């Protein structure tokens, strides 16, 4: 039911043509669409009812993300409603309660500043955090901060000591003195930014969770984001595959629909199989996060790895089976291909997640 209402809304208010229009107008954020999502309760999908949310859980967040992926809707849903909300829920403070309700109402957007090199590796963060008087001083840079160009606040991962996990997570307003934001031109026309931190002052109040213990707060947030992003990617794959199967039925060559050629039938069927199997992994990840979050790591990485593989196949076959038209900017398939590429990198690529699964399975 959630899926159907989400689909109806997104087909009408955030079809692929909307992304195209935003791209053509040079825009990467649509505050109106975000407000509508808030009105439907999506921004509060993981926010407790006491903080004004609807608290429907990760499986439900996955359902929404899947539908967002299908039409390539652009929003800070993952950064804000999924990851920031999950991080804030891990801490019990007045400030986090206030921010959670602001998220639920759609008044506050977040981005996560994690990566510093071209691959996802939060534990390798080097952005320096030094004691300075009663507070801290941050120096360094972050890249591929998705939604970072417009977000109101950023969660910043900083190194506070020599140990591998000696990291501290800060929750800062994006306009804090010393932070510079430069847009990164993402291939999928979504928002991302490079952030420079030049003697940025912070206090103990800016820390989320405990100093030197970022991962306790960040890990659940990352897992929530990875699971939802996987769901978004299967939505994206489904959107691309629907277009492709539709085309196979309609395009005529040699006097018959190309979908009657067995070479194409079998490839389309194989793609369908891959999507069906990936769907199970996504469902499982959402359920594990809801029922047994402490043991969800493998389920989440399984979902992300499968989602990457499947989305890649869906867009490659999507372009190939459309022939020349598949390569044109005027046709939507390219948007799916670009979004799939970006989503494959965000929050860990195939190799990263395969290693997590292998670890859990004792390789």
Partner 1 sequence: MSWATQDPESFRQSLRSWLDTHCPQAMRDGLNTEATICWGGKNWEFTSKHQKLWMQNAAEVGLTTPRWPAAYGGAGLSREQDKIYLEELARINARMPLLSFGIWMLGPALLAFGSEAQKQKYLPQIIRGEQRWCQGYSEPGAGSDLANVQTKAEDMGDHYLINGQKIWTSYADKADWIFALVRTDRDAPKHKGISFILIDMESEGVSTRPIQLISGASAFCETFFDNVKVPKENVVGEVNKGWDIAKYLLTHEREMISGNNQGLTSGRPLGAVLAQTAGEERLSDASLRAAAMECEIDALSVGLTLERYKDQAEAGAGVGDASAMLKYMGTELNKQRYELMMSAGGSEAIDTDGAHGDLAMDWLRSKANSIEGGTSEVMLGIISRRILGLPG
In this chain, which of 199, 280, 295, 328 binds partner 1, going by CB under 8 A?
A: 280
Residues 6+ apart with CB under 8 A from 237: 69, 275, 278, 307, 310, 311, 313, 314, 315, 340
Report in angstroms how near the CB of residue 316 gets to partner 1 at its nearest.
Answer: 17
Which residue lies nearer to partner 1 by CB, 187 or 358? 358
Tell me the two tokens of residue 35: 């407000």
Is 2 a binding residue for partner 1 by CB under 8 A? The answer is no
In this chain, which of 306, 312, 322, 339 binds partner 1, going by CB under 8 A?
A: 306
- Which of 133, 309, 325 is CA-nearest to residue 236? 309
In this chain, which of 29, 272, 342, 349 binds partner 1, going by CB under 8 A?
A: 272
Question: Binders of partner 1: how many residues, by CB under 8 A?
Answer: 34
In this chain, which of 21, 107, 131, 249 binds partner 1, going by CB under 8 A?
A: 249
Is 354 a binding residue for partner 1 by CB under 8 A? The answer is yes
Which residue lies nearer to partner 1 by CB, 169 or 233? 233
| C-alpha 359, offset from chain centre | 24
In this chain, which of 182, 265, 295, 328 binds partner 1, going by CB under 8 A?
A: 265
Which residue lies nearer to partner 1 by CB, 127 or 311? 311
Report in angstroms how near the CB of residue 322 gets to partner 1 at its nearest.
Answer: 15
Is 357 a binding residue for partner 1 by CB under 8 A? The answer is yes
Q: Yes or no: say if 206 and 212 are a contact pair by the CB < 8 Å rule.
A: no
The C-alpha atoms of residue 336 and residue 237 are separated, in whole angstroms, by 8
Is 322 a binding residue for partner 1 by CB under 8 A? The answer is no
Is 66 a binding residue for partner 1 by CB under 8 A? The answer is no
DSSP E strands, the chain = 110-113, 128-132, 135-146, 153-159, 167-173, 179-183, 192-202, 252-253, 256-257
The C-alpha atoms of residue 353 and residue 303 are separated, in whole angstroms, by 9
Is 223 a binding residue for partner 1 by CB under 8 A? The answer is no
In this chain, which of 27, 107, 119, 270 binds partner 1, going by CB under 8 A?
A: 270
Is 252 a binding residue for partner 1 by CB under 8 A? The answer is no
Footprint of partner 1 on residues 170-189 (CB under 8 A)? none
Is 277 a binding residue for partner 1 by CB under 8 A? The answer is yes
Angle, CA of 164, 84 and 360, to the nearest 5°: 45
Q: Could you give the C-alpha distances from 276 to 27, 61, 62, 344, in angstroms and in order?
A: 34, 19, 15, 19
Which residue lies nearer to partner 1 by CB, 138 or 240? 240
The dihedrals phi and psi of 80, each to the nearest 5 degrees, come to -95, -65
Residues 6+ apart with CB under 8 A from 63: 2, 3, 6, 231
Q: Is 197 helix (H, G, I), strand (E, B) or coil?
A: strand
In this chain, which of 276, 292, 323, 327 binds partner 1, going by CB under 8 A?
A: 276
Is 3 a binding residue for partner 1 by CB under 8 A? The answer is no
Tell me the two tokens of residue 63: 């359902």
Is 355 a binding residue for partner 1 by CB under 8 A? The answer is yes
Q: How far apart are the first and last CA of the chain?
A: 40
Which residue lies nearer to partner 1 by CB, 98 or 250? 250
The C-alpha atoms of residue 74 and residue 10 are separated, in whole angstroms, by 11
Could you list the residues that contact partner 1 (CB under 8 A)?
A: 245, 248-249, 256-257, 259-260, 262, 265-266, 268-270, 272-273, 276-281, 283-284, 302, 305-306, 309, 354-355, 357-358, 361-363
């Amino acid at each position: 039911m959630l899926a159907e209402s989400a689909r109806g809304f997104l087909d009408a208010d955030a079809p692929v043509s909307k992304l195209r229009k935003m791209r053509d107008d040079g825009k990467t954020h649509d505050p109106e669409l975000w407000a509508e999502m808030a009105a439907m309760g999506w921004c509060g999908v993981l926010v407790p009812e006491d903080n004004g949310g609807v608290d429907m859980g990760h499986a439900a967040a996955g359902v929404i993300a899947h539908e967002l992926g299908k039409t390539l809707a652009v929003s800070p849903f993952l950064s804000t409603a999924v990851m920031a909300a999950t991080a804030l829920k891990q801490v019990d403070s007045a400030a986090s309660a206030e921010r959670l309700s602001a998220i639920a109402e759609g008044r506050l957007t977040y981005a996560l500043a994690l990566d510093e090199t071209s691959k996802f590796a939060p534990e390798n963060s080097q952005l320096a955090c030094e004691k300075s008087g009663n507070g801290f001083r941050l120096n360094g840079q972050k890249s591929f901060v998705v939604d970072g160009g417009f977000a109101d606040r950023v969660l910043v991962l900083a190194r506070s000591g020599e140990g591998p996990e000696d990291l501290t997570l800060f929750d800062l307003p994006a306009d804090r003195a010393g932070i510079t934001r430069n847009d990164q031109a993402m291939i999928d026309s979504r928002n991302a930014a490079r952030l420079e931190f030049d003697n940025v002052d912070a206090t103990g109040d800016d820390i989320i969770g405990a100093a030197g213990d970022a991962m306790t707060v960040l890990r659940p947030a990352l897992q929530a984001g990875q699971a939802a992003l996987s769901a978004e990617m299967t939505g994206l794959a489904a959107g691309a595959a629907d277009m492709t199967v539709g085309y196979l039925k309609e395009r005529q060559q040699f006097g018959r629909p190309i979908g009657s050629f067995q070479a194409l039938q079998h490839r389309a069927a194989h793609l369908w199989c891959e999507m069906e199997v990936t769907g199970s992994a996504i469902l499982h990840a959402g359920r594990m996060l809801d029922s047994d979050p402490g043991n969800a790591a493998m389920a989440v990485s399984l979902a992300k790895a499968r989602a990457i593989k499947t989305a890649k196949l869906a867009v490659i076959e999507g372009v190939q089976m459309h022939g020349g038209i598949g390569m044109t900017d005027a046709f939507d398939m390219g948007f799916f291909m670009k979004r799939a590429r970006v989503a494959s990198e965000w929050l860990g690529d195939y190799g990263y997640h395969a290693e997590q699964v292998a670890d859990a399975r004792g390789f």
